[in-house]
Amino acid sequence: MFVLAMRSIRQRPGRFLATLLSAFLGAAIIMTFNSMYDTAGQPGVDSVSAETLYTAAGVVGGYGTLLVFFAVASTLTVNVRQRAAELELLRCSGATPAQLKRMVVGEAAVVALVGSALAIVPAMLGGRALLEVFQDSGQVADSVDHSFGVIALMSGIDITLLAAAGAAFLAMRRAARGHRRPGRGRTFLAYAALAAGAAAVCSTFAFSETDSALMAPPVYGSILLSVGCALLAARLLKGVPVPGGASGWLAVQNLRERSGQLAGILTSLILFTAVSTATLTIQRVESDAVEAAGMVKSVEAKNLETLNFTVVGIIVVFVCVMLVNSLYAATSYRGREFGQQRLAGATPGQVLSVVGTEALVLTVTGVLFGTLAALAGIVPFTMVRGDAVVPGQVIGVWAVVVSIAAVATLGTSLVTARRVLRTPAVQAVAVTA
Amino acid sequence: MFRSGARRNHDAGPAPEALRLVKVTKSYGTADSAVTALDGVTLGLGRGTFTAVMGPSGSGKSTLLQCAAGLDQPDSGIVQVDGTELTGGSEAKLTKFRRGRIGFVFQQYNLLETLTVAQNTVLPLKLAGRRVDRARVREVLTAVGLGDRLGHRPDQLSGGQRQRVAIARALVTDPRVIFADEPTGALDLRSARDVLRLLQQAVRVHGQTVVMVTHDPVAASYADSVLFLADGRLAGRLEAPTADAVAERLAHLGDDVTTEV
């Protein structure tokens, strides 16, 4: 089976590009931040510098692991779903489920190893750049040299490998089980996340204006609330109202029917909007408040700011990769369906407008719930920290976040659909049959 | 049951000839390796006729149907549907031409999986921006025997039932010609017979025009006449066909072509 895995990678490298990209980005980020452990562990590094470096490595390292897992899992799930026919053929030729599982997990492991190997040099450069950022802002002594050692290398490779293999294993298990309604566990988790998020947001009021930990509860509350919304994403799509016009009608029927598959895309959108809007707005309100008071930021506060920006940056990149990948895969897979619509009398323009409407509904739903989750965190924070209820800073941040989300969702869907439409309708229906 | 509904963007009345092809030629591939699929085919089919097109694999049956239906562009020659010439142009233009003039029934049904039986049936009307007459949709679906399955999805239906939905979808726009491409190719004997009877009924009782591509002599025997195609050329015609006569003719199609050349 491993030989088969290697052969399928060599024959069709394009199929693994998305997985490779997620593994590469993930490994690069993990290695970059974990090289801060190596740097801090060198002899002769003073305690303040070391603490800064440890915090950075710890916080982002944890986030990074989770993100790698989700990104690789999302690309692999799509990969397994698209290869259903091939896997079925292997099953008919006598492959046992365990053999198939070994093949897909083997492929994922090889792709993860290649991804982490490619990530080593960029991570070395990235680590050096990150250290310079810390040194420029005076958080780390200038005398400290960057070191890329065993911890960075091993953690990068291990985490990426484990995440990829685990994600492949889960994707196969899910594919074997077939279509299932979301279980009670998921619903329970969703309500638990919403309750915990609400509690975290409310606890903001228990802190005083100058507490250094004031930023934590609203940000985490927002994230939890958005996770809760994301877990209920499939259900949100069922309730979309039917607009007028043939394209709108068809789009909404598709959204309702395929809500399970589209939930992943909606999840990415909600998380992206909530996390980036909440973190960036709260950070800007805090910075402006400090500046207005005429104070100088402490090293600790600066650390927090750098971390906030880095975390948001990482999330933006990852979520964009996931969004673009899953939308591309989902749309390019619909050639046959588009062909059927065209044979039933839809012009290419009508098909594009169906795809556009779907993407628009997804974006609006995702942004709406993401914004609500973000505001739930931002409002308590500004009420405690300043005088306003809704800070002015939120508008600029929100506009940028929403534009990125809209461009990624609409752009990917429409560009992919246009490419798919180049195949004549009769062929599109026959080829993928 | 299949009465003429109100028609928008349409000429006064049906032309006497539902389909006319004049010296239609189509080849695939480039210069050296070009394969001629249609070699100067000329034919005319009257309104209210049921014609089967037969021939061995690679004889150009499917190409003929696709060129006649505006799904593919011929290299040269003229295609007229309902007296109007099918002009070259963008896909959007051709699609608009087909709406209301042409209905399709395919071997693989080509129903949309996300839509119910009723929704699949009204889809061509919705896409064309025409008014949906619910009573008439129900009437057409009842006529094909699916009046109690309006809310089902295609994956809850048998092959024969899906093909009957496809026929209802082709009939609901009241087109001038219905093209059927191996409509019984994936069906068991009984379902195939039901589907063929429905097509026959559409022609005999309600004056529709049906052109059906098939390789099955039994299916062809339901038609009023059979056109034989070999190596991209017409190779004979059989009126009031029986399955045996069609099979006999098909078996000697190769001989005819050699003697002609």
pLDDT for position B261: 40
Classify B115 in phi/psi space as left (phi over 0), alpha (psi -120 to 50) or beta.
beta
B108 to A339: CB separation less than 8 angstroms, yes or no: no
In this predicted structure, the answer to whether residue B4 has a pLDDT above a threshold of 60 is no
Report which DSSP code applies to B71. Answer: S
The rounded distance, in Å, linking the Cα atoms of B114 and B246 is 40
Using a CB-CB distance cutoff of 8 angstroms, which residues of chain A are in contact with residue B112? 337, 340-341, 344
Report pLDDT for A89.
Answer: 85
B160 against A75, higher pLDDT: B160
Residue A96, Cα to own-chain centre: how many angstroms? 33
- Contact (Cβ atoms closer than 8 angstroms) between residue B127 and residue B96: no
Residue in B with minimal Cα distance to A431:
B108
pLDDT for B36: 87
Q: What are B122's two structure tokens?
A: 């009204």
Task: Name the residue ranges covered by the structural domains of chain A.
Answer: 1-180, 182-433
Query: Is residue A145's pLDDT more than 70?
Result: yes
Q: Which ranges of A204-298 would DSSP assign to H, the alpha helix?
A: 216-231, 233-238, 246-257, 259-292
Our CA-based measurement puts residue B91 at a distance from the nearest CA of chain A, in whole angstroms, of 7
What CA–CA distances, in Å, run from A116 to A72, A111, A132, A223, A368? 13, 9, 24, 29, 36
pTM for the model stands at 0.80
Residue A212: pLDDT band (50, 70, 90) is: low
Distance from CA of A346 to the nearest CA of B (A): 6
Residue B99: its pLDDT value, please? 87
Determine the CATH number of domain B17-101+175-260: 3.40.50.300
Candidate from B99, B108, B115 with C-beta closest to A429: B108
Q: CA of B66: which chain A residue's CA is closest?
A: A426
% of chain B exceeding 90 in pLDDT: 46
Q: To the nearest whole angstrom, how far is the Cα of A422 from the nearest Cα of chain B? A: 10
B92:A347 CB<8 A: yes
Q: Could you count the other beta carbons within 10 Å of the beta carbon of residue A388?
A: 13
Residue type, A426: V
Task: Report CA-CA distances (Å) from A22 to A125, A325, B160, B182.
Answer: 19, 10, 45, 45
Average pLDDT, integer, range A40-48: 85
Sequence-separated (6 or more) residues with CB below 8 Å from residue A121: none
Where is pLDDT greater, at B11 or A253?
Answer: A253
* Contact criterion met (CB < 8 Å) for A246 and B72: no
CB contact under 8 A, A344 and B112: yes
Structure tokens at B244: 């045996």
The whole-chain average pLDDT of chain A stands at 84
Q: What average pLDDT does the segment A299-326 reach?
A: 78
pLDDT at residue A182 above 60? no
CA angle (B251 as vertex; B247, B255 as ends), nearest 5: 140
What is the per-residue pLDDT for B214?
92
Tell me what pLDDT residue B259 has: 46
DSSP letters for A162-220:
HHHHHHHHHHHHHHHH-S----HHHHHHHHHHHHHHHHHHHHGGGS-TT-GGGGHHHHH
> Average pLDDT, stretch A403-409?
93
pLDDT for B132: 87
Q: How many CA atoms lie within 13 A of B139 on its CB side?
A: 11
Side-chain-side CA neighbours of A410 within 13 Å: the count stands at 13
> In the prediction, which pLDDT does B7 show?
43
Convert the pLDDT of each residue in B52-97 to its tens digit.
Answer: 999 888 888 889 999 998 888 888 999 999 888 887 778 888 898 8
Are residues A429 and B113, on separate chains, in Cβ contact within 8 Å?
no
The pLDDT value given to residue B197 = 93
Specify whether the CB–CB gap between B196 and B221 falls below 8 A.
no
Q: Which of A27-36, A142-151, A157-166, B218-227 has the highest mean pLDDT?
A: B218-227
For the segment B103-140, what is each residue's pLDDT rounded down to a tens digit?
999 988 899 988 999 999 999 998 998 888 888 899 89
Checking if the pLDDT of A168 tops 80, the result is yes
- Average pLDDT estimate for A164-180: 77
- Looking at the complex, does the CB of residue B186 fall below 8 Å from at least one CB of chain A? no
Residue B239, φ and ψ in degrees, nearest 5: -90, 155
Q: Which residues of chain B does A330 touch, with a Cβ-Cβ cutoff of 8 Å?
A: none
